[in-house]
Structure 1
C-alpha cells in the first residue's frame, strides 16, 4: 500500500520553479535557459538535483537539449504538450467537434462580457481578416483568422477557456490552416461577420448560431474530402 505524502522532493520543487518561469513567459519558447552554474547558484542546489529537474522537464516536453549548444524551451506549458500528443491520435472530425464546443461557448460568453474596447478590436480584427482575403494573401488570411478567433475567446473573460483554446489552436494548427485556406469564400466570410456583429451587439443566441453555421460548413468540407484533411 502506497502512503500519501504532501512533501515535494527537492527535484520536484526545482522543476516546479522552472516550469513557472516557462508558463509566466520569463523563459519564452525558443529561449536557451541559463547555464548550469548560474542556475545552481540561483536555486542553491547541486548539479545532480538541477540535472534531474531538467530531465523531468525534458520528459514533460517543456525543454529540449541541443548537443553542444544548451537546453531550450520548446513549449509554453505541460498542458500544451499533452494536447499536442493527444491531437496527433485524433481524427479531424473529433478535432473539429472540440473546436465547435469551445468556440460556441466562447462566442456565447463574449457576447455577454465583451468590453467596449474589445468590441472595437474585434471589428478592427475582422477588417484585417477581410482585407487579407481581398488581396489574396492566404498566409495572412489564415493568420488573421486565428487571431480573430483568439480575440473572441479572450473576450469571454474565462481564463481556463482562453488557455485551453490557445493550446488547442496550437495543437491543431495544420487542420485550421488547411480548412481556412479552402473556406475563404463569400458565405464563410459572411458567417464570421455575423458572428462578430452579434458579439458587438451582445446577441448571444445570434453569435452561437453563427458558430454553428461555419462549423457545419467546415464539416461539409471534411465530408467532401472523405474525412481527410483538405
Structure 2
C-alpha cells in the first residue's frame, strides 16, 4: 500500500505543545486529573475536536491516560517516561535493571568529571536524605534519595545520559519508595556514603561498583522475597 501525505493542522500542534508544556512543567501534576474537555475548549479557544485530537496524541505518547467516566490524568512527564511506563509497567525488577544500567555508568563518569560544587551539593542532598530516613519520613526519603541520584547523573556531564535518566525519573522515585516501604524497609541499611566518597576521590571503578552494588542487592532481595 503506497504511503500518502498526511495533513495536520497547525492548531492541533499548538494545542499539543501547550498541553505538553503544562505536563512537563508540573502545572498539571503527575497522577492528577487535567481540566475537563469543556474547560480546555474555553481556555484554549479551540473546538472540541482539536482538544480531543491533542489529548489522543498525548495519550498515545504516554503522557496522558484517558479513564472512561473518570477523566484524563497525567501519566508521565515526558515521552521517554511514558515509554518506560508502558514497557515496565509496575514491574519493579525491570525498573531496577534500567536504573542499574544508567546509574553505574553515571557514577563512573561522575568520578572522572565531577567538580567541587557537584560534590558539595551531593553531600548536602545525602545529609538531607539521611535525616529524613532517621525521622522515618518516607515520602521525604524517596524525594531526597531520588534527587541525590539525579544530581549524580548531572555530575557525569553527559547530556544524553541525563536526558534518558530524567525520562525514567517517575519510575526511579517509585522504586526508591518501594525500597523504604514501612512493611519491608530494605532501604534502612542502604548508605550512599561510600558511593559519594568514591566520586569525591575520583575513583571510577569503585564508584561504579558502589552504584551497582545496592541495586544488585535489592534485586536479589526481591528474588528472595518472591520465594517466601
TM-score between the two structures when normalised by the length of structure 2: 0.76
Distance in 2 separating the partners of 1:125 and 1:177: 17
Q: 1:19 to 1:8 in 2, by over 3 A?
A: farther
Distance in 1 separating the partners of 2:167 and 2:71: 26
Using the TM superposition, give the Cα deviation of residue 135 of structure 1 relative to its aligned residue in structure 2, in angstroms: 3.5
Instruction: Check the 8 A contact 1:79/1:167 in 2, yes or no.
Output: yes
Q: 1:27 to 1:131 in 2, by over 3 A?
A: closer
Q: Residues 146-161 of structure 1 correspond to what in structure 2 (within 5 A)?
A: 146-161=146-161
Instruction: Check the 8 A contact 1:14/1:50 in 2, yes or no.
Output: no
Aligned to 1:182: 186
Q: Name the stretch that deviates more: 118-127 or 155-164.
A: 155-164
Q: 1:15 to 1:78 in 2, by over 3 A?
A: farther
TM-score between the two structures when normalised by the length of structure 1: 0.75
Q: Name the stretch that deviates more: 175-184 or 8-17.
A: 8-17
Secondary structure in 1 matching 2:157: coil
Deviations 1:116-136 (A, max 9, x none): 222110011111122223334
Instruction: Check the 8 A contact 1:111/1:201 in 2, yes or no.
Output: yes
Q: Please state if 1:35 is matched with 2:40.
A: yes
Which runs of no fewer than 5 residues in structure 2 stay unpaired?
none
Aligned to 2:109: 109
Secondary structure in 2 matching 1:81: helix
Q: 1:124 to 1:26 in 2, by over 3 A?
A: closer
Provide the alpha-carbon RMSD of the alignment.
Answer: 3.4
Distance in 2 separating the partners of 1:135 and 1:24: 31
Which runs of no fewer than 5 residues in structure 1 stay unpaired?
none
Aligned to 1:3: 3
Q: 1:227 to 1:216 in 2, by over 3 A?
A: farther
